[in-house]
Amino acid sequence: MKSRFLKYTLLLPALVLICDGCKKFEAINTNPNATTQVNSAMLATSMILNITRGDISTTKTFMQPFLLGKYLTWGEGQENFQYNRISRTDFGRITLLRNITPMENYATNDGLKKSYQALGHFIRAWQFFMTTMQVGDIPFSEAVKGETEAILQPKYDTQKAVFLGILNELDQANTLFASGSNFDGDPTYSGNVDKWRRLTNSFELHVLINLYKKTGDADLKVIDRFKDIVANRPLMRDYSDNFALAYNATAGQNYPWSDVPAGSGNSFVKSNYTMLTNVLLEPLKATNDRRLFYYAKPSPVKITAGISQADIAAYPSVEPSDSFSSLQTRRVNKDYADINNRYTNLVNAEPVGVFNYWDLQFILAEATIRGWISGTTAQTYYANGIKSSMKFIATYTPDLADYNHGVKMDDAYINAFPATVALTGTIEQQIAQVITQKYLASFLQGNKYQGWYENRRTGYPVFKLNSSTNLNTPSTNFPLRWLYPQNELSYNSVNLSAAVASQYGGSDDVNQIMWLLK
């Protein structure tokens, strides 16, 4: 019996994805006159697009993670994610890793080989991290070894072992990028190894902050690792270092929520399915944060009533845990704030990052508050994160009233704003402030399920638990994880059963608490 996700398959199926990616994102460095054949650059393109565009997706699928993260509601029907129903995941992320070794082997010189090896280590770390965050223990040490070692039913490694492996992968990537050369096939950084190295180290800090409950573990050395990276390695410098995809007018390269030409690019827009929530809008209103006017568009009911589009009262929010029927009434009556027209009308609304500079700054702020690092104040990092988010939005938004509603964010406003929401209070209260600002900066940004993961990890921002609408069982709890893939039940049941027994007492249940959260 063969595990579908671990079999080291022939490259032909991968080439279909690669060529599709080449057509849709022509920013990669390829020679249109050369013979099309598999090479390192093509494999790199395929994998980079998989972990960026694949996670970002388009139209409704783009929005679904933000339903789980309580940024918005959806009016087409009662959505599982909006009401906290989580089911099975898959191990598709691990399937991608079979292309890493060929990518490395096709490299034509030592400098390129180091760079592609570094990229391989980064992609392994990224994919294993995103997978373990969903379920807990996963195959790691024996993963993707069907062809090389005939391991078709891999054992599961503990989540601790997986995290140690992820940290090691990122350490190796940092070392190799430092001595590698710029490479072809990269639709994000154009093969700039310095930018990749900065991303690698910044992402490692993200991995480490997720281990904040494990600072006493002598093997992980969470705080020591964090300090060393901050002190000795290059990190992302500004939002130009975001790990992001930019969009344009070419077919297949439009912004994921764009509806250009109107009514054909995104059929969900004309149905007016989206409403923005109180979790997103009320913190913006409470602090007079002008991102409100760039994220949202006002209620037509409030405008008809004579309220100015520049007034926060024109932007009523909805509670995402309210019953679907009551939310439908709000939607039909049109008295709610919807997504800003810039996300719909512009094919290049803004680059979408799966890891951003402001994420790094909020991580550094949190680490400083927790006492892991010193030398720079938490307020400085926190302010940098807020200002970077605001500058990014202001830069990519045309200066039109339809997009900023006459309430502009200029440099003077941006530079002054962080002091108005300065960190204060207990350690826990300051953590809440940092995570709230991180959440606000991640509207239609960030790696998949980021807002939900932050809430699971820290409890912030607070999500209302409504037992009368919650689709989780029991309805008095939020779920904490996904179920293991059906394919694993079918093809690797012995190893899966052992992992479920050792972690969760034999019950593969969405309410079980994984090692990371204990």
Domain layout of the chain by residue ranges: 281-350+357-441
In this predicted model, what pLDDT tens digit does every residue of 395-435 receive, in sequence order? 999 999 999 999 999 999 999 999 999 999 999 999 999 99
What are the start-end ranges of the E strands in 342-414?
Answer: 352-355
In this predicted model, what pLDDT tens digit does every residue of 447-477 receive, in sequence order? 999 999 999 999 999 999 999 999 999 999 9
In this predicted model, what pLDDT tens digit does every residue of 77-130 receive, in sequence order? 999 999 999 999 999 999 999 999 999 999 999 999 999 999 999 999 999 999
pLDDT(39) > 70: yes
Contact 276, 295 (CB under 8 A): yes
In this predicted model, what pLDDT tens digit does every residue of 222-273 receive, in sequence order? 999 999 999 999 999 999 999 999 999 998 899 999 998 776 678 888 789 9
Which residues are paired to 73 by β-bridges? 275
What is the DSSP annotation of 410-478?
-HHHHHHHHHHT---SSHHHHHHHHHHHHHHHTTT-SSTTHHHHHHHHH--SPPP--TTT--SSSTTS-
pLDDT band at 155 (very low <50, low <70, confident <90, very high): very high
What is the DSSP annotation of 152-189?
SSPPPBPHHHHHHHHHHHHHHHHHHHHH----S--TTT
